[in-house]
Structure 1
């Protein structure tokens, strides 16, 4: 139905613009012969006839919003229906089945941008780092802990929580653990002193 590249070694600007509008289409995994998906995220229902012999012409499948993601309603040859997110279908068709433990990621964190170049299979951690890089991780907007200590540099706790985009005050964390071991209440003055020691 379309091409992504052409064999010509040179082309005019007009031809290049035309080629850029072409899309590559591939069968939807598990729905071969019924649906195809394009490299830009369009889904097409192929022409078919139902059990009564009625002809259904090919048409683009309407997409719906699912928490910001684009979704489609598909049916198989046995009449079984299911809703599926478009970015997952596209990766399955153009990249391959989902690797174990991986999720479908949008490079720009725009859930509705289902262009193939914007999608990839990757780890949940990499997906969270996308959100941080694109300024969508709420934790990155927090500059101070509840006790007023800046969340930066040596006052950031070096823990696995940082890999999830979370940041914690190292000074307050130390005082919290020390107070628990000593059986006393959290002491802000001690946390302040610990912060000064970390950052001096």
Structure 2
């Protein structure tokens, strides 16, 4: 059985991993296995670290699937029931909401979303 270096370091210098815990890197760099950079924590906390350190694939995306930039004015943050947050494109959300009320506009989704992006995408742009 192959063990990862960070697990060996923690086991040697801190002690065995408690049940339900895993080894986390404080700086988000998996190559930094210095004992001062490691801690035992929950899987949920380890997963949250990926967003804090911008190492999660979704956290580093700069545009939605319809190519609208995630600018401050065009980004919605949703608090989900499980305690996690999710971001979405405000322009696409507005277009979907409009189409729910006007189904005949569905073929024009991209043009509608782009028109919302002209409004929201420039708000609070960094």
Q: Please, what TM-score do these two structures have when normalized by structure 1?
A: 0.43
What residue number does 1:88 align with?
A: 7
| Structure 1: stretches of 5+ with no match in the other structure | 1-81
More strand by share: 1
Distance 1:133 1:97 in 2: 23
More helix by share: 2
Contact 1:92 1:98 in 2 (8 A): no
Q: Please, what TM-score do these two structures have when normalized by structure 2?
A: 0.60
| Structure 2: stretches of 5+ with no match in the other structure | none
Post-superposition offset of 1:145: 2.4
Whether 1:120 and 2:39 are equivalent positions in the alignment is yes
Contact 2:90 2:120 in 1 (8 A): no
Post-superposition offset of 1:177: 4.9
Whether 1:169 and 2:89 are equivalent positions in the alignment is yes
What residue number does 1:154 align with?
A: 73
RMSD of equivalent CA atoms: 3.5
What residue number does 2:113 align with?
A: 191
Post-superposition offset of 1:104: 1.3
Structure with max Cα Rg: 1
Distance 1:136 1:194 in 2: 30
Contact 2:17 2:40 in 1 (8 A): no
What residue number does 1:8 align with?
A: none
Distance 1:176 1:141, change over 3 A: same
Post-superposition offset of 1:95: 5.3
Between the two structures, name the one with larger relative contact order (CA 8 Å, sep ≥ 6).
2
